[in-house]
Amino acid sequence: MFSNIKIGVRLLVGFILVAAISVVVGGIGINSANRINDMADAMYQQDLIGVSLIKEANINLIYIGRARANYLLATTQEERARHLASITKSSTAVKELVAKAKPLFIAPRAKEIFVTFDKNWEEYQRDLQQVLVLAGSEALQQRSETLTKSLADTRAKGDVIDDQMTELTLIKETRAKEASAETTALYENSRSLMMIAIAIGVLLGIALGVLISRSVTIPLNKARDAANRLAEGDLTVRIDSTATDETGQMLRSMQAMIAKLSQVVSDVNSGAQALASASEEVSATSLSLSQASSEQAASVEETSASIEQMSSSIAQNTENAKVTDGMASKAAREAAEGGVSVNATVAAMKQIARKIGIIDDIAYQTNLLALNAAIEAARAGEHGKGFAVVAAEVRKLAERSQIAAQEIGEVASSSVELAEKAGKLLDEMVPSIRKTSDLVQEIAAASSEQSSGVSQINAAVMQLSQTTQQNASSSEELAATAEEMSSQAEQLQATMAFFKLDGIARSGAQAAPKRNYGGNSSGPKAGSNKPSMALARASGGELDESQFTRF
């Protein structure tokens, strides 16, 4: 589920959590500091000031005792008056200081002490006044028993008050110690809470950092490994990702790219194999046509020799009618055979023209395949540049093949016309020769005219021989072109073998085997059945376009 959250959201949530922990830690610290400050203020306002006031009152009580002693020891009335004023002043100060300190003491024991203190203070003041009155009524440096007793009572009350003030001071000191202990405990608790919060924040920050880092680096490592395998030509790599964040979208886009590239490479391999097969069949057909043209040239030469022999026989027909009749019959048979050969030649030339049309269609389809391959290579971008160059070369070869096929088609059409003309001449010659057998007596008179006709036939046959030889040469050139196209197709297959597809290892991507038809005896005969390839022919020798690989 975490991998379905956007990376930006993950980072934002992580930093917000860390910030929240910092806020919590800061809040705990601030709250603890506020409490410590409040306790310190309370310690100062209640305990320390209270102790200070009690101490000051105790000091004034000491002043009273000193002034009282000095009053009793005074030798003059002026000295007594001065010490009496000091006693009055210190008594007033004690009363005021105790009144100020009383609200600062909240302990129950302190309140009890203040209740008894007021009573003791009144008694102390009464006894003190009695002592002062008695001392003032006596002569200087004289003490009566009553004065001595009053002094003892006053000292006792002063000691009680002094003890009470000391106890109040001890109470405040105890309270200060308790406040200090509470402050220390608060500090310890606050420190523990802050350490726990800091530890939780550190652990949570580390956990969030590791989680966010792994959620980003693991998909990136997958993408890196897939890119390395693609660089090695391995298109069988599969990237599985169910995440919906940016990395998951990137991995799914890479998988779509790999699938499209695999389809393109597979289609190019299929097209290259079909092109290689078609090139080999064109080569085989061209070699077969070359062999047939050679055989036809031999037949034409034989026909030419027969015509020359017939011309010689016509020259001698006046001297030997029987010989002429026999030779005429023989010439008729040979002319009939020549007519059959010429008809066969015409049929072969027409078949050549049809084959050339197939070659022209193959070149056209190859040009379309190369154009489609160039388009797919352009879609592939940087990875398809090399294939685009190969597709351009194949397209150039297809255009050259198409031009050559058109030129050969024109030559074949011309050869068909010449062969038909020769066939007509032979067809016309056969009745004439047969008639010669019946008109042996007229041979001598017509021999000159027949000799002229035979010369024309001989010239036509020689021209037919030259045309047949040209057809054989063109067929050989077509075969060479087909071999070159097959070689280029095999080179394309070898180049595309760099890529590894599902079920197809690079080591197993072999080009179609070459077939050599260099010799007349090893090549397929004219009219023999060809293997069924990508360019399968329909009945009647027409091109079946449904057998081509479509993109």
Could you write out the DSSP letters of every residue in 273-333?
HHHHHHHHHHHHHHHHHHHHHHHHHHHHHHHHHHHHHHHHHHHHTTT-HHHHHHHHHHHHH
Q: Check pLDDT > 70 for residue 550.
A: no
DSSP state letters, 17-80: HHHHHHHHHHHHHHHHHHHHHHHHHHIIIIIIHHHHHHHHHHHHHHHHHHHHHHHHH-SSHHHH
How many structural domains is the chain composed of? Answer: 2
Nearest to 187 by CA among 37, 384, 360: 37
Q: pLDDT tens-digit profile of 130-168?
A: 877 877 776 544 445 565 566 556 655 555 655 565 666
Strands (E), 417-483: none
Question: 149 and 13: one domain?
Answer: yes
Domain end (from 199, 216, 233): 216
Q: How far is CA 344 from CA 394, 453, 521, in A?
A: 36, 23, 21
Question: 172 and 296: one domain?
Answer: no
Dihedral angle sign, alpha carbons of residues 58, 60, 66, 68:
negative
How sure is the predictor about 399, in pLDDT bands with cuts at 50, 70 and 90? confident
Domain end (from 496, 527, 546): 496
Residue 230 domain-assigned? no
Q: pTM (2 decimals)? A: 0.36
Question: 10 and 157: one domain?
Answer: yes
Which domain, by its residues, includes 68? 2-216
Question: 191 and 300: one domain?
Answer: no
Alpha-carbon gap, residue 122 to 119, rounded angstroms? 5
DSSP state letters, 2-17: GGGS-HHHHHHHHHHH
Residue 341 domain-assigned? yes
Q: Check pLDDT > 50 for residue 538.
A: no
Question: 308 and 211: one domain?
Answer: no
Question: 192 and 299: one domain?
Answer: no
Residue 501 three-state SS: strand
Residue 192 domain-assigned? yes
Residue 255 domain-assigned? no
What's the burial of 345, exposed, middle or buried (CB within 10 Å: 0-12/13-18/19+)?
buried
Question: 313 and 408: one domain?
Answer: yes
* 3-state secondary structure string across 78-91: HHHHHHHHHHHHHH
- pLDDT the model gives residue 317: 59
Residue 416 domain-assigned? yes
Q: What is the mean pLDDT of residues 89-102?
A: 83
- Mean pLDDT computed over every residue of the chain: 71
Residue 151 domain-assigned? yes
Question: 300 and 206: one domain?
Answer: no
Packing angle, helices 77-101 and 49-73, rounded to 10: 160
- pLDDT the model gives residue 510: 43
Question: 385 and 492: one domain?
Answer: yes
Q: How far is CA 125 from CA 92, 143, 154, 155, 244, in A?
A: 11, 20, 8, 11, 93
Q: What share of residues in the chain are helix, strand, coil (percent, to 5)?
A: 85, 0, 15
User: Is 66 in contact with 155 (CB distance < 8 Å)?
Assistant: no
Token code pair at residue 286: 């061209």
Question: 453 and 310: one domain?
Answer: yes
Residue 235 domain-assigned? no
Dihedral angle sign, alpha carbons of residues 388, 392, 397, 398:
positive
Alpha-carbon gap, residue 551 to 549, rounded angstroms? 7
Structural element, H or E, at residue 538: none
Q: pLDDT tens-digit profile of 451-496?
A: 677 777 777 777 877 787 777 777 777 778 877 877 887 777 777 7
- Of 239 and 75, the structure prediction assigns the larger pLDDT to 239
Question: 149 and 298: one domain?
Answer: no
Domain end (from 184, 216, 248): 216
Residue 23 domain-assigned? yes
Query: What residues are paired with 234 via a beta bridge?
Result: 500
Question: 64 and 210: one domain?
Answer: yes
Could you tell me the CATH number of the domain that includes residue 96?
Answer: 1.20.1440.210
Could you tell me the CATH number of the domain that includes residue 343?
Answer: 1.10.287
Token code pair at residue 344: 């066969």
How many CB atoms within 10 Å of residue 136? 13
